[in-house]
C-alpha cells in the first residue's frame, strides 16, 4: 500500500474515536480490503476520504439513526462502512469495490424505510451508500419541471416549490422528512393524488448508476428499466441519482378540514357511507379517514374515533355544496373549513401548523413523526367492509395506545392509469388503501406490539383484496412470505412480489434479469433475476 494511502487509512480508523481502545473489526467481511479499495479509487478521482465512516467513527451510529428504531434494534448486522458521497464518481467507486469484493450495497435516501432494508441486513456483510448529500432540487418554473436528487426530502422539495410559486405543487406524501429516493421509486401517494395521481406517475426522466457502474438516463437505460424504477423500487436495479418530474398547478387557495366523530356520535354509520363515496367524489377532493382509540366524553369508556381529514383543491365555498350532495351525513359547516395555500397544508397535515415553512427543510422528524419503534402493514379494498368486519376492528382498537388505522381513498386520476402502465398496479377497482400502524417507546414491548398488529391484520383478511392479498410496496412488510433470508429466487419472492405488484412482478423479474442478472443490487425484498449467482 502506498505511503499516502497508509496514512489515510490510519486517519480514517482513528478519526473521531472517543476511546483509544480498538474494537474488533469484521475483517472476514472484507472490511479492510474494501476500505483500501475505496481509498485507492478516491485517490484516482481526487475525492475526499472524510465521507467514509467506519464502526470506529464517533459519528457512525448517528448516521444510522432512522425514523423507525425497530429494524436496527433487531438486525444482527451493521454495515461495515457508510459512504456519504458528494460526487457521482464516489458512488461508482463504491459499486466497483463492492462488486470486486462481494459486499452487498444498501442505498439510503431518508430513513423512513419500514423494514430498514436500506440500512440493516439479515446477515450478509454489506456497506451503506447514504445519499444525504445528493439533495439538490432544481426547478424550471416555466416548463413546470424539476430535477430532484434522491437524498432530498419531501419537505425540501415542497419548500423549494413554495419559493418559486404559490401554485406549483407535486403529488407526494405529507411527511416532510421522507426521502425522495424510496418514496418516488415505490409509488408515492399524497393528498392531491386523486387529482394528480402518484409521484411515480409524474416522473419523466431519471439518472442512475447501474450494476456496471455506468451512469444512464432515460434515453440510455431504455424504457423497460425506466418503467421498472417508477413504482417497482429503484434499489433492485441500481442507485438512482435523481428524478426529473413534471410539476402540477394547484389553486392559490385550497381548503382543509378535520372532523372527528366517536362511535357514540354515529362514526360507524359515517364510515359506512365514506366507503361508498370516497373513491367517487370530485377528484379535487381527497377525504382521508383515520381511526384511533379514544375515550368517550359521554361515558368515559374506551371507544374509537373516526377523523375525516381532507383537502380540497378549491375554496370552502366551492367545497360545501359538494359535501352537502355527496356526504351530508358528516354535517360539514363552513367554520369547520380552513382556507390556505397548498404549501401550508403540508404543515397542517404533518401536525406542524404552528411552525414556519423553514421547518420543512429540517431532516429531524417532528410532529407526528418523532422517532419510535414502529411496525406497519397495508391492504387494498375493492368492496366496502361490512359492519361485522368493522366491529371486529373496534374490539382490537379500543383501549390500545400508539395505534392507528388509516383509510386512503383511490379513484379519480389514480384509476386513469392501467394496471401495467407503471409497476404500481392498484388502480381501477380499488376503493381505498388501508394502512395499519403501531408504535411504542420501550423495545421490550416489541413482541406484544407486533403480535397485536398481526392480529388486526388477520381480522381484516376476509374483507380486503385477496388472491393475492395486495400490499403497498412503500409500506414494506417482511411478514409477507415470511422469508427474511435475502431472497434471490423467483419462487421465493413470488409471494410478496405478487402482493406488491400483481402481474407486473413478472415483468419486473424480466427487467432485473436483463439489467442485473448477477443480482448485485439486492435486499430481503428486492426483485430477483430468474437465474442468480
Active centre residues (catalytic): 475
Cβ atoms of residues 268 and 390 within 8 Å: yes
Give the phi and the psi of residue 175 in degrees, each rounded to 5.
-80, 120
Calpha distance 110→152 (Å, rounded): 8
Calpha distance 467→349 (Å, rounded): 34
Q: What is the DSSP letter of 528?
A: P
Q: Terminal CA-to-CA distance of the chain, rounded, Å?
A: 31
Considering Cα of 232, then 233, then 236, then 240, what sign does the dihedral take? positive
SS3 368: helix
Cβ atoms of residues 215 and 88 within 8 Å: yes
How many angstroms from the chain centroid is the CA of residue 197? 16
Residues with Cβ within 8 Å of residue 126, at least 6 apart in sequence:
77, 79, 80, 103, 104, 105, 106
Considering Cα of 283, then 183, then 246, then 146, what sign does the dihedral take? positive
SS3 340: strand
Half-sphere exposure of 404 (CA within 13 A, CB side): 14
Helix, strand and coil percent figures for the chain, each rounded to 5: 35, 20, 40
Q: Give the residue carrying C-alpha cell 371507544.
A: 303
Dihedral (Cα; 176, 181, 187, 189), 10-degree rounding: 10
Cβ atoms of residues 293 and 304 within 8 Å: yes
* Parallel, antiparallel or unpaired: strands 104-108 and 126-130: parallel
Three-state SS string across 195-212, please?
HHCCCHHHEEEEEEECCC
**CB count in 10 Å sphere of residue 96:** 15
Strand order in the sheet with 215-217: 137-140, 145-149, 239-246, 203-209, 215-217
| Helical ranges in 354-403 per DSSP H | 387-397
Calpha distance 236→233 (Å, rounded): 6
Calpha distance 371→79 (Å, rounded): 21
Amino acid at each position: 500500500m502506498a505511503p499516502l494511502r497508509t496514512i489515510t487509512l490510519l486517519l480514517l480508523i482513528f478519526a473521531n474515536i472517543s476511546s483509544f481502545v480498538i474494537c474488533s473489526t469484521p475483517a472476514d467481511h472484507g472490511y479492510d480490503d474494501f476500505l483500501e479499495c475505496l481509498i485507492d479509487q478516491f485517490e484516482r478521482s481526487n475525492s475526499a476520504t472524510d465521507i467514509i465512516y467506519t464502526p470506529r467513527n464517533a459519528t457512525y451510529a448517528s448516521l444510522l439513526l432512522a425514523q423507525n428504531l425497530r429494524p436496527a434494534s433487531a438486525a444482527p448486522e451493521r454495515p461495515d462502512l457508510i459512504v456519504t458521497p458528494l460526487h457521482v464518481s464516489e458512488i461508482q467507486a463504491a459499486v466497483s469495490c463492492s462488486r470486486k469484493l462481494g459486499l452487498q450495497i444498501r442505498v439510503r435516501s431518508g430513513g423512513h424505510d419500514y423494514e430498514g432494508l436500506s440500512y440493516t441486513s439479515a446477515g450478509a456483510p454489506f456497506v451503506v451508500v447514504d445519499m444525504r448529500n445528493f439533495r439538490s432540487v432544481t426547478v424550471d418554473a416555466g416548463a413546470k419541471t424539476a430535477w430532484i436528487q434522491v437524498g432530498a426530502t419531501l419537505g425540501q422539495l415542497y419548500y423549494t416549490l413554495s419559493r418559486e410559486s404559490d401554485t406549483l405543487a407535486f403529488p407526494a406524501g405529507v411527511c416532510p422528512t421522507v426521502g425522495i429516493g424510496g418514496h418516488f421509486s415505490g409509488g408515492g401517494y399524497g393528498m392531491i393524488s386523486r387529482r394528480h395521481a402518484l409521484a411515480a406517475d409524474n416522473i419523466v426522466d431519471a439518472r442512475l448508476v447501474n450494476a456496471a457502474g455506468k451512469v444512464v438516463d432515460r434515453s440510455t437505460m431504455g424504457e423497460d428499466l425506466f418503467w421498472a424504477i417508477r413504482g417497482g423500487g429503484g434499489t433492485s436495479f441500481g442507485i438512482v441519482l435523481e428524478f426529473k418530474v413534471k410539476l402540477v398547478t394547484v389553486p392559490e387557495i385550497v381548503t382543509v378540514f378535520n372532523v372527528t366523530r366517536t362511535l357514540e356520535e354515529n362514526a360507524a354509520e359515517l364510515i359506512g357511507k365514506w366507503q361508498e363515496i370516497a373513491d367517487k367524489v370530485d377528484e379535487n377532493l381527497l377525504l382521508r379517514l383515520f381511526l384511533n382509540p379514544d375515550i368517550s366524553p359521554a361515558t368515559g369508556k374506551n371507544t374509537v374515533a373516526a377523523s375525516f381529514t381532507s383537502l380540497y383543491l378549491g375554496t370552502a365555498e366551492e367545497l360545501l355544496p359538494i359535501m352537502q350532495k355527496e356526504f351530508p351525513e358528516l354535517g360539514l359547516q363552513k367554520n369547520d373549513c380552513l382556507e390556505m395555500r397548498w404549501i401550508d397544508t403540508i404543515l397542517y397535515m404533518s401536525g406542524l401548523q404552528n411552525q414556519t415553512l423553514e421547518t420543512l427543510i429540517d431532516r429531524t422528524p417532528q410532529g407526528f413523526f418523532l422517532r419510535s419503534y414502529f411496525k406497519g402493514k397495508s391492504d387494498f379494498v375493492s368492496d366496502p367492509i361490512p359492519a361485522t368486519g368493522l366491529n371486529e376492528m373496534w374490539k382490537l382498537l379500543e383501549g390500545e395506545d400508539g395505534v392507528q388505522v388509516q383509510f386512503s381513498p383511490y379513484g379519480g386520476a389514480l384509476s386513469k392509469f392501467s394496471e401495467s402502465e407503471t409497476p404500481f398496479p392498484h388502480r381501477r377497482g380499488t376503493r381505498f388503501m388501508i394502512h395499519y400502524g403501531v408504535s411504542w417507546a420501550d423495545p421490550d414491548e416489541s413482541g406484544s406490539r407486533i403480535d397485536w398488529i398481526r392480529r388486526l391484520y388477520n381480522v381484516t383478511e376476509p374483507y380486503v383484496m385477496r388472491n393475492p392479498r395486495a400490499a403497498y410496496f412503500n409500506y414494506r412488510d417482511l411478514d409477507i412470505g415470511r422469508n427474511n433470508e435475502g431472497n434471490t429466487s423467483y419462487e421465493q419472492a413470488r409471494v410478496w412480489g405478487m402482493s406488491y405488484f400483481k402481474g407486473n412482478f413478472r415483468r419486473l423479474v424480466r427487467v432485473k434479469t436483463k439489467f442485473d442478472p448477477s443480482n448485485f443490487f439486492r435486499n430481503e425484498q428486492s426483485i430477483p433475476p430468474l437465474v442468480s449467482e
